[in-house]
Amino acid sequence: ISTLNLAFLVPSDHLDLSRRKFPQIFFAKRRAQTQLNYEQLKKTSLSPFPPACTGFLHYYRDQGTAPLEGSVRFRVISWNAPSSFQHDYDLLSPSGLPWQVTL
Q: pLDDT value at position 101?
A: 94
Phi, psi of 56 (to 5 degrees): -130, 140
Every domain of the chain and the residues it spans: 6-102
Give the bridge partners for 34, in sequence order.
25
- pLDDT tens digits along 32-79: 889 999 987 777 788 999 999 999 999 999 898 887 899 999 999 877
Q: What angle do CA 57, 66, 6 make, to 5 degrees?
A: 25
CA distance 34 to 77: 21
Contact 85, 56 (CB under 8 A): yes
7 — pLDDT class (breaks 50, 70, 90): confident
Contact 69, 102 (CB under 8 A): no
Q: pLDDT value at position 45?
A: 81
